Amino acid sequence: MKTFKLIKLNILKESGEDFQKRSIPLIDGLIINREDDQNRWIIEAYLDQQYIEEFLRFRQNEEEMVLEAKITKSSNHPAVFLVKVLDVNEIGEHFNVLFMGNIVDHKKDQVEHMLRRLIEEGYQGEELLEEFKNRVEQAEAENSV
């Protein structure tokens, strides 16, 4: 197992074809890569009491949720997880919430989506490869701004 510092936590909610992001202010947190055969991760967030009812509902309903987490330092790209709430524990005036789930590989989905769109636009063979390279470079340039 590998343990990392959780720097930032967002809840992602589906809104049409996109996601709305809501930040949950952390008091502290950690994330553990269990390195098990199911590739599961555990996320522990130590939070202010004002959020406890929401997470108790998630646990009671056994709802899956999408979390976006920044790990180790704020300059890292966020990782996206599909999780369920394992437990909620009151600790004085605060509480912790434990999540378990899997990391979501968005880059793979984005690549597949881009390729599908290029094929639908009529690109084939060498022309498909060149246009794909151009769009990947373009996307990377836009994301580095």
Token reading at 135: 């769009």
Coil/strand/helix, residue 105 = coil
What residues make up the domain containing 139?
107-143
- Report the first-to-last Cα separation within the chain, whole angstroms: 35
Per-residue pLDDT of 35-47, as tens digits, reads 888 889 999 999 9
Q: How far apart are CA 38 and CA 102, in angstroms?
A: 8
Does residue 12 sit in the same domain as residue 81? yes
Does residue 100 sit in the same domain as residue 111? no
CATH classification of the domain holding 58:
2.30.110
Phi, psi of 27 (to 5 degrees): -85, -40
Per-residue pLDDT of 102-118, as tens digits, reads 988 656 566 667 777 88
Residue with the bigger pLDDT between 88 and 122: it is: 88
% of the chain exceeding 90 in pLDDT:
49
Does residue 88 sit in the same domain as residue 139? no
Q: Which of 103, 107, 108 is nearest to 36 (CA)?
A: 103
Does residue 17 sit in the same domain as residue 59? yes
Number of folded domains in the chain? Answer: 2
Does residue 95 sit in the same domain as residue 119? no
